[in-house]
Structure 1
Amino acid sequence: MSVTTQLRRLRRVAVASGTACGLALALAAPAAPAAAAPRPVPQGARILGLELKAPNLTITFQDLNPDSVSHKLLLKPQGREREYELGVPGEGRVLTQTFDAGLLPGTGYCATIRTRSRYGRVNPIYYEYWSEEKCAQPSGSAQNPSDVSVGSIEGDAAPPPGSTRNYWINYYNKGAEAKDITIEVQPTGTMTMRKPPDSGTFSGFQCAAAGAGYRCTGGSLPNGGKAQIPFLGRVTTAGPGAIHVTISVAGDSNSTNNQQTLTTLSAP
């Protein structure tokens, strides 16, 4: 065998051996790990409502984070910052909390929620998220006044003498939430009152006889709210009569719509 033939055989063996080793290495090498799906970035909390009634604060918020472990309310009154612990209702759930925050009467406040979340059980990583800031003014303040008004008085304007009639007084609030409202109803002429409304039944009013009619205090009505309160009347004799209504609340922004009268005429 010539030297040339021997070299060719050695070259073929070497190439075959190299190919076999390459295949073995390729089979032994572990597969590249699949890229992990990016974890969605959660939010913290959303403030749904903020009500100030010194010294108490009422906040309603929604938990937006599946991994949240704490929510803290940061309150900023007049440039100072306070921090309060909130509950953790769970992702998607809404929680309303009322607590004494030492609010100053007639002062506006701004609130932010700082959410702390935990990702992973072994060597967990903690994240912090901030809600948008929400500010509020106390009811009846110059920045957020109430606007209560008396609407129509529904009922028979021509009741017969000696009859009893029920009348319904409509009242509204176009401004900020109104608390401690007062309604006074006075009949005149042939119209008299049978009895005042039951206390605590209508908008939380406490009602009692006053003069010829009644006076109700302590009622409340939210922004945009409307309600009715009854007047239980009796017509004594034939002739003209009337039902006079006045509504009032501290900080009312418009006193021109606080009175209403229904005149009646009882024919024999």
Structure 2
Amino acid sequence: MSVQLDAPDVTVTFRDTDPDDSRHILVLRPKDGTGETRRVEVAGEVPSVNRTVVKTVNAGIRAGVAYCAVINTGTRGSEDVGGAFGTNYNSNEVCSEPAGSANAPSDVAIGSITGEENPPAGTNRNYWIGYSNPGADATGVTITVQTSGTVTVRRPPESGTFNGFQCSGGSTGYTCTGGNLPKGTKNQIPVLATITRAGPGAIHATITAEGDPNPGNNRSTLGVLAVSK
């Protein structure tokens, strides 16, 4: 799905779709066709199917070099003669520019959502959503927050306060648009919440930016279980 280069490390996001997978190897070749192809195992068997894996590994890549990557998946052998030794096949290829390159993409991300997981019913509570951009400078970023169950929003965050975001919404959530996140930005935005009654609720957050190549880190959820006073 995506590859980020920060020599000597590589962060890869891929989705496993094979119920018989036994291991996954990241294969990297220099985009310009020169230099050594690198191979490093990033996962063994991934439980179930259609699960997204995000892994950072030391692949020994060279700084300042663009690479193209595939995931080579190996499968377990079957009982019939033809499948006794299993099979290997490659994913689609994704190319990426190195960190610090003028062509490197942004990589906006939602971190953990923090706050009281067992709040008393009938009270106001504040939660915090972490966000960051370890990639290139990002403009026009959007954060969307939704609440459900026992959690409602008192009011959106004040516009312009957090990295230029302009926020609006209602009791079930809000959207903040127009954020500017320079490379290396780390910040938090609040959820000013009311706990309406006892029972389960949740806060869901997503972040998007044009050209973001790594959707695997763009969302987070915090479940709460409100208790009676």
TM-score under structure 2 normalisation? 0.54
Aligned to 2:207: 247
CA positional deviation for 1:210: 5.3
Letter in 2 for 1:266: A
SS in structure 2 of the partner of residue 237 of structure 1? coil
Aligned to 1:201: 161
* Backbone CA RMSD of aligned residues: 1.5
CA pair 247-200 structure 1, distance change in 2 beyond 3 A? same
CA positional deviation for 1:154: 1.3
Distance 2:118 2:101 in 1: 48
CA positional deviation for 1:166: 0.6
CA positional deviation for 1:146: 0.4
Distance 1:148 1:210 in 2: 25
Spell out structure 1 runs of 4+ moving beyond 4 A: none
Letter in 2 for 1:203: N
CA positional deviation for 1:223: 0.8
CA pair 161-211 structure 1, distance change in 2 beyond 3 A? closer
CA positional deviation for 1:215: 0.2
Distance 2:171 2:141 in 1: 19
**Highest relative contact order (Cα 8 Å, sep 6+), 1 or 2?**
2
Letter in 2 for 1:180: G
More helix by share: 1
Pair 1:259-2:215 in alignment: no
Which protein has the larger Cα radius of gyration, Structure 1 or Structure 2? Answer: 1
Aligned to 1:182: 142
CA positional deviation for 1:195: 0.2
Distance 1:195 1:254 in 2: 30
Matches within 5 A, 1:10-89: none
CA pair 210-160 structure 1, distance change in 2 beyond 3 A? closer
Q: Which runs of 5+ in 1 are unaligned?
A: 1-134, 138-142
- Percent identity of equivalent pairs: 55
Pick one of 117, 123, 145 that aligns with 1:163.
Answer: 123
Distance 2:126 2:101 in 1: 40
Aligned to 1:154: 114
Aligned to 1:238: 198
Distance 2:128 2:181 in 1: 17
Distance 1:234 1:210 in 2: 12
Pick one of 219, 224, 248 that aligns with 2:179.
Answer: 219
Aligned to 2:31: none
Task: For residues 125-175 of structure 1, give each alpha carbon's deviation from its aligned partner in whole angstroms, at most 9, with x where no partner exists.
Answer: xxxxxxxxxx973xxxxx320001000111101101001001111101011
TM-score under structure 1 normalisation? 0.47
SS in structure 2 of the partner of residue 256 of structure 1? helix
Letter in 1 for 2:142: T
Aligned residue pairs total 129
Aligned to 1:41: none
Distance 2:115 2:191 in 1: 10
More strand by share: 2
CA positional deviation for 1:220: 1.0
Whether contact under 8 Å (2:164, 2:179) holds in the other structure is yes
Letter in 1 for 2:113: I
Q: Which runs of 5+ in 2 are unaligned?
A: 1-99
Task: For residues 173-206 of structure 1, give each alpha carbon's deviation from its aligned partner in whole angstroms, at most 9, with x where no partner exists.
Answer: 0110011100000000000000000100100000
Aligned to 2:29: none
Whether contact under 8 Å (2:120, 2:198) holds in the other structure is yes
Distance 2:108 2:101 in 1: 20
